[in-house]
Structure 1
Amino acid sequence: MTDEDADELAWETTSRSVAYECPGFEIVHEEVRLPDGTPTDFDYLADDPAVVLLAFTPDGEVVLVEEWRQAVGRVNRGLPAGGVESEDADLAAAAHRELREETGYEADSVEKFGGFEPTNGVADAVHHYFLAEGCRPTGEQDLDFDESIRVTTTPYEDLLEDVRSGEVRDGRTALGVLNYELG
């Protein structure tokens, strides 16, 4: 990008360091210069890309996970999702792996239908949404040490109504279902 191509709203990063790291994410600290030349700093959560699956069984049920979410102090009901790992050949491979690990279900096929930056004011996360079809329970879950997940299924229309009514509060799930509806 040349200087003529630079957006007048862009901030200039003058230094970058990791302020905190833990399994799953880092907090990045950057020294920046605003468009008017004012120096300041900015912190954000650096997160690996993730895959989110709208997974349908052959009879039209959607595979969901119920998982304890410590940040909000309750069980969350939503779509299976997880981080892309270095050994994943591509995003589709990550989608197959995450579905299998979190739910014990295997999909006949997965197809990407969306990609979003759900919290780009505070994080660099990108969520890649996949439609998984022909999902059948074929094995055991392979959960991370800090995951507590119960697998369930529900008719798609019931999930859609739960998103509409606000009963489903998980943002990844609401975004995926609504994007699928609009597609």
Structure 2
Amino acid sequence: MEWKVLSSKYIAKDPPWFTTRVDKVELPNGEILDNYYVLEYPDWAIALALTEDDKFIFVEQYRHAYGTVSMELSAGVIDDDDPDPLFAAKRELLEETGYGGGQWEFFAKTCANPGTHTNTAFIYLAKGVKRIKDQDLDRTEDINVKLLTKEDVLGLLEKNEIVQSMHSTALWQWLYMEEKRS
């Protein structure tokens, strides 16, 4: 089932935000595709975080490519100097929201689009986090922190108001697993 890469050429390279290559590949049936485009992104870390009183921590921010304000979980790129994805998830939550501490565990992993994207999103569940400092935002970030109940989150999901697909996937999976436990 695997495709054989016959050649590969970068057509745009501006890591970590935009790296695109075009591969010439041979399919298992022998057919040749001259131009198969691949988007190379770094891996991402996502924090599905709950406070000590079981409120979900969300960030509300403008997303220029989509042209709207988006409700999301705290997330970001796993930097080259991050020792592991968990470190990156903790760092992103603390920087974007000021929340930290608590008990953390690996929850899931997903890919935005395995047909064209090279990266993985690692999702961590954090329970019992609390506000420990002020936000430390990047120059492009203008983030409002929102604390939401389980019912609030379910309502947003049911109305398709969480458009970041990896975040909604994580939340639906968490809600499913919680329902299964009860």
1:148: Cα distance to partner? 2.5
Identity fraction in percent: 29
2:30 matches 1:37: yes
1:106: Cα distance to partner? 0.8
Aligned partner of 2:79 in structure 1 is: 85
Distance in 1 separating the partners of 2:74 and 2:21? 27
Which one-letter code corresponds to 2:165 in the other structure?
G
Distance in 2 separating the partners of 1:16 and 1:44? 10
Distance in 2 separating the partners of 1:146 and 1:15? 37
Which one-letter code corresponds to 2:132 in the other structure?
T
Distance in 1 separating the partners of 2:52 and 2:153? 17
Aligned partner of 1:5 in structure 2 is: none
Distance in 2 separating the partners of 1:101 and 1:83? 13
Distance in 1 separating the partners of 2:138 and 2:26? 40
Which one-letter code corresponds to 1:37 in the other structure?
G
Structural RMSD (CA): 1.5
Distance in 2 separating the partners of 1:127 and 1:182? 19
Aligned partner of 1:16 in structure 2 is: 8
1:136: Cα distance to partner? 1.4
Any residues of structure 2 matched to 1:1-183 within 5 Å, and which?
9-22=1-14, 23-40=16-33, 41-183=35-177
Range that drifts further, 75-84 or 85-94: 85-94
1:94: Cα distance to partner? 1.3
**1:18-77: CA deviations, max 9, x gaps?**
211234231122111122222222112111111111111111111100111111111000
Asked whether the 8 Å contact 1:79–1:172 carries over to 2, the reply is no
Asked whether the 8 Å contact 1:62–1:153 carries over to 2, the reply is yes
Q: Which runs of 5+ in 1 are unaligned?
A: 1-8
1:25–1:142 CA distance, 2 compared to 1 (3 A)? farther
SS at 1:180's partner residue? Answer: helix
Which one-letter code corresponds to 1:12 in the other structure?
K
Aligned partner of 2:180 in structure 1 is: none
Asked whether the 8 Å contact 1:95–1:110 carries over to 2, the reply is no
Equivalent pairs counted in the alignment come to 175
Asked whether the 8 Å contact 2:111–2:166 carries over to 1, the reply is no
SS at 1:75's partner residue? Answer: strand
Asked whether the 8 Å contact 1:25–1:48 carries over to 2, the reply is no
TM-score in terms of structure 1 length: 0.88
TM-score in terms of structure 2 length: 0.89
Which one-letter code corresponds to 1:24 in the other structure?
W
